[in-house]
Amino acid sequence: MVTQRYHLYIERADPAKNMARFYAMSIEPNLFGDACLTRRWGRIGTTGQMMVHHFESENDAVILFLDLLRKKRRRGYSAALRNPSANR
């Protein structure tokens, strides 16, 4: 069972390269109480792609969440200065 919900939205933009990407993750319980890590990514302003990982324990989901966050931060992603749901 998930005791705490995790949500993250980060972006990477480089106007010189015409790059504007987003990466979003969240950990939430499914109907059976297991932890699900949902990832979404793509160009800002699009729906992008989505992948869902299912875990029996929240700890395993958090480990992957933090690992992916570290990798994205190394690649230049940072906190967004705008609200991602404002365009929907």
Encode pLDDT of 43-83 as tens digits: 999 999 999 999 999 999 999 999 999 999 999 999 976 65
Residue 88 lies in a domain: no
| CATH for 30 | 2.20.140.10
Residue 18 lies in a domain: yes
Residue 53 lies in a domain: yes
Residue 35 lies in a domain: yes
Q: Which residues lie below 8 Å from residue 55, measured CB to CB, with a gap of 6+?
A: 34, 35, 36, 37, 61, 64
Model confidence at 88, pLDDT cuts 50, 70, 90, reads: very low
Residue 57 lies in a domain: yes
For 43, the domain range is 6-81
Cβ proximity of 50 and 40 under 8 Å: yes
Looking at the 3D structure of the chain, how many domains does it have?
A: 1
The whole-number pLDDT of residue 9 equals: 96
Residue 49 lies in a domain: yes
Global confidence as pTM: 0.83
